[in-house]
Amino acid sequence: MKVYLPIAVLLLLISAMLFSASKFILPPKNISNEPLIVEIPEGTSNETAGNILESKGVIVSSTFFSFYCARIGTKVLPGRYQFNNPVYPWYAARLLSKGQKTPVEIAVTIPEGKRLSEIAEILEKNGVTDGKEFLVKCRSPEFIYKLTGKKLDSLEGYLFPDTYKFKPNTDPDLVIQRMHNRLIEIIADRIHPFFDTHQWLILASIVEREAVLSEERPRIAAVFLNRLKKGMLLEADPTVRFAADKWDSSPVLYSDLESNSPYNTYKFKGLPPGPISSVSKASLDAVLNPANTNELFFVATGAGKHIFSSSYREHLANIASIRR
């Protein structure tokens, strides 16, 4: 018994040491289940690279990473690295010492209601494609006709807002084609009773820019459809903002309403020439299935809500009540 006791104690101590060490060596858990993207800038030291990897949840200990790099005499190389799961420090060290050989796909989200200029900015900021080249293509008559078979001034409204994955510095042609194809997928086999696709996109884009609350979209769509049927002006502020390229929080002025732009729906009846932004599926659905109402007016009350009315007198009363 006396002989085996020291051995048992020794084994226990070794087990404890291994358990302790495992906390600094074993990969951490990836709680989000999303790929872990790590950017290693030019001139980054092994120690700093280890800190970046640990902060991103790729490894559990930057100390062991630095120790292993020093042990094998390696130096991390700059690049953009993707880890599908957390890894052991030595695996990360070996990968970073070889450099990034295959481009990592960049996940980029285009929010609903964004204009082409805003989409270009988002894509360039995320390293997907050159923003200027993207806009040139989106406004090229030849490229537009080849892509859509339509003679359009631009592809405004023809690129679907969604989350996409692209390789860095993707050709803008491919980015545009992918986003346009996504729109075609969304509207496939769905036919508006009296609008063609272009008209459908136009009104959906106006609804997109007017609506804040999703539940109000069908009602807002119904108002505009009712006004069109009666031959009334749409009087949609977002179209005036589009004409004036005025998208800040400043109010629409009376001088803006005097614009001779065909997008000025306070001056010209019917739909404007084209969409004014990208459109969500919710706005497309709202125009396809508007609320069953005879309402012709609405006014914003704040916090994204609107008050709707069927007569001009009621509309004026609603405006007065809001301004009190």
DSSP one-letter string for 153-172: S--TT-S---EEEE-TT--H
Q: Which of 292, 300, 215, 294 is nearest to 252 (CA)?
A: 300
Q: Report the C-alpha gap between 61 and 66 in whole angstroms.
A: 9
Domain presence at residue 290 = yes
| 7 belongs to a structural domain | no
Q: Quick one: 252 and 295 in the same domain? A: yes
Please return the burial class of 76, using the count of CB atoms within 10 Å of its CB with bins 0-12, 13-18 and 19+.
buried
pTM of the model: 0.72
Per-residue pLDDT of the chain (324 residues; tens, 9 = 90+): 444 556 655 555 555 444 444 444 555 555 555 678 888 898 999 999 999 999 988 888 888 899 889 988 889 999 888 887 888 888 888 888 888 665 678 899 999 999 999 999 999 988 899 999 999 999 999 999 999 999 999 999 999 999 999 988 899 999 999 999 999 999 988 888 889 999 999 999 999 999 999 999 999 999 999 999 999 999 999 999 998 887 766 777 778 788 899 999 999 999 999 999 999 999 999 999 999 999 999 998 877 899 999 999 999 999 998 887
Which of 29, 64, 28 minimizes the C-alpha distance to 46?
64
Specify the CATH number for the domain of residue 176. 3.30.1490.480
Domain that holds residue 219: 197-323
**232 shares a domain with 319:** yes
Residue-by-residue DSSP string for 225-264: HHHHHTT-----HHHHHHHHT--SSSPPPTTGGG---TT-
What letter represents residue 242's amino acid? F
Same structural domain, 167 and 263:
no
CB atoms within 10 A of CB 5: 9
Please identify, among 187, 218, 243, the residue that sits at the C-terminal boundary of a domain.
Answer: 187
Domain check: are 246 and 281 in the same one? yes
* Same domain flag for 49 and 149: no
Give the containing element (helix H, strand E) for 81. strand 79-83
Among candidate residues 98, 125, 149, the one where a domain is terminated: 98
In a domain, 192, yes or no: no
Same domain, 216 and 276: yes
- pLDDT at 1 (0 to 100): 45
Q: Considering 36, 71, 98, which residue would you say is the last residue of a domain?
A: 98
Q: How many domains does the chain have?
A: 3
